[in-house]
Homo-oligomer: A and B are copies of this chain.
C-alpha cells in the first residue's frame, strides 16, 4: 500500500505482462478491453509513478541548455550569473547536461539577436534568456516555441504566454520596499528624488516599475512626501561621473535618493560633497556599491540576486529534463534588504 510499485509489480497484480502494462500507461493501444480494465483497476488502487531514476537512465540523453545573457565586462551586475553557470556545470555535467552561453552586449539589440540566432541554430533543448529587449526577446520566444525548444526567462519579464519558466523579482513591490525604508528613516514628511541612472535606456520598463511602486507607497499612505523623478543618461563626450556631479550641483536639497539601477555608486561618490545628510537607497551588490555601503554613503541596497535567479532557472530546467519534475511557470523571488552587516552572506 505504501510501496513504490514497479511495472513488473503491476503486471503481476493485473495478471498480464509488463509490455501490456506499458502500453496501457503510455496509451499506445493494442490492448484488449479486458486487459485494459484489469490494469486500470490496479493503477487506480496504487497510484503509480514511474521510477524517475530508471527513466532517466533509459533516456540517457545529453541535454543542451543555451543561456542568453549580457556581457559582464559591460556591466558587473551580470558577473554572479556566470558563477552560477560554472557551478551548475560542475554539478550536472555528469548528468548529461551541456550549457552553451550566448553573450551579448547589453546596449545592442543587434548583438542580442545575433547571439540568439547562433544559439538557436544549434537546436538546444531549452533557451534561458534575459529579455532585455522586448521586441527581440518576444521574437526569440516565438522561434523557440515553434521549434519545440523550452523557453525560460530571468531578471526581466516579457508578456509572452508561452514561456515555460519565468524567474524574477516583483519590481513594483521592490519600489515599495525602498519607500518603506525611507519612511522609517525620515518619518512622515520628506523630499525624495528618484534617479534613473543608466548608460542606455534599454531597460526603461524595469526602472519605471520600481518608480511606480515607490510612488504608490507614499500615495497609499497619504504621506506628505515630495518626489521628483530624474533621468540621468551618459552624454556622449563627457565622462559619466562628470555628468552625475553636474546633476548633483544643480539638485535642490533632498532627504533621500532612490536609484533604480545598480549605479548608486556613481552618486555615492559625490554625496558627501553635495548632500551630506541624504540617504541613498540603491540596487544590487556590485563591488562598488558594497564599497560605499561600507562607508555608510549608501544606506541600503536591494538585492536582486541574479546568481540565485540563474541557479534556480537552470536547476528547474534540468530536473524537468532528467526527472520530469514540473516546470514552475512563474517564480517571484524575495526582495532582500541589505545593509553593512548582512551583505556577506548574500555573496555566497
A→B interface (CB under 8 Å): 4, 49-54, 56-57, 62, 91, 93-96, 170, 173-174, 176-177, 179-181, 184-185, 217, 299, 322, 325, 332-342, 345-346
| A4 contacts B94, C-beta separation under 8 Å | yes
- Which 9 A-B pairs have CB atoms at the shortest separation, nearest pair first? A337-B337, A334-B345, A177-B341, A335-B342, A176-B341, A180-B341, A49-B94, A177-B342, A53-B57
Q: A180-B339, A336-B342, A337-B342 are in contact. List 15 more A-B contacts (CB 8 A).
A: A4-B96, A51-B57, A57-B57, A173-B341, A173-B342, A174-B342, A180-B341, A184-B299, A217-B341, A332-B345, A334-B342, A334-B346, A335-B341, A336-B337, A337-B338
Contact sample, A vs B, 28 pairs, CB 8 Å cutoff: A4-B94, A4-B96, A50-B94, A52-B95, A53-B56, A53-B95, A53-B322, A57-B57, A91-B325, A173-B342, A173-B345, A174-B342, A176-B341, A177-B339, A180-B339, A180-B340, A180-B341, A181-B339, A184-B185, A184-B339, A217-B341, A332-B345, A334-B336, A335-B341, A336-B337, A337-B337, A337-B339, A337-B342
The docked-state distance in angstroms from the alpha carbon of A162 to that of B69 is 42
The docked-state distance in angstroms from the alpha carbon of A56 to that of B56 is 11
Q: Enumerate chain B residues within 8 angstroms of A345, measured Cβ to Cβ.
A: 170, 173, 332-335
| B91 contacts A341, C-beta separation under 8 Å | no
The docked-state distance in angstroms from the alpha carbon of A51 to that of B62 is 12
Nearest residue (CB) in B for A338 is: B337
Copies of this chain in the oligomer: 2
Q: Enumerate chain B residues within 8 angstroms of A173, measured Cβ to Cβ.
A: 341-342, 345
Interface-centre pick from A49, A217, A335 (highest chain B CB count, 10 A): A335
The docked-state distance in angstroms from the alpha carbon of A52 to that of B52 is 13
- Report the minimal beta-carbon distance from A162 to chain B, rounded to whole angstroms: 25
Q: Enumerate chain B residues within 8 angstroms of A322, measured Cβ to Cβ.
A: 53
Q: Enumerate chain B residues within 8 angstroms of A177, measured Cβ to Cβ.
A: 339, 341-342
Q: Tell whether A94 pairs with B54 under 8 Å between CB atoms, given A177-B342, A336-B334, A342-B173.
A: no
The docked-state distance in angstroms from the alpha carbon of A50 to that of B170 is 41
- Report the minimal beta-carbon distance from A193 to chain B, rounded to whole angstroms: 19
| A52 contacts B94, C-beta separation under 8 Å | yes
Nearest residue (CB) in B for A299 is: B184
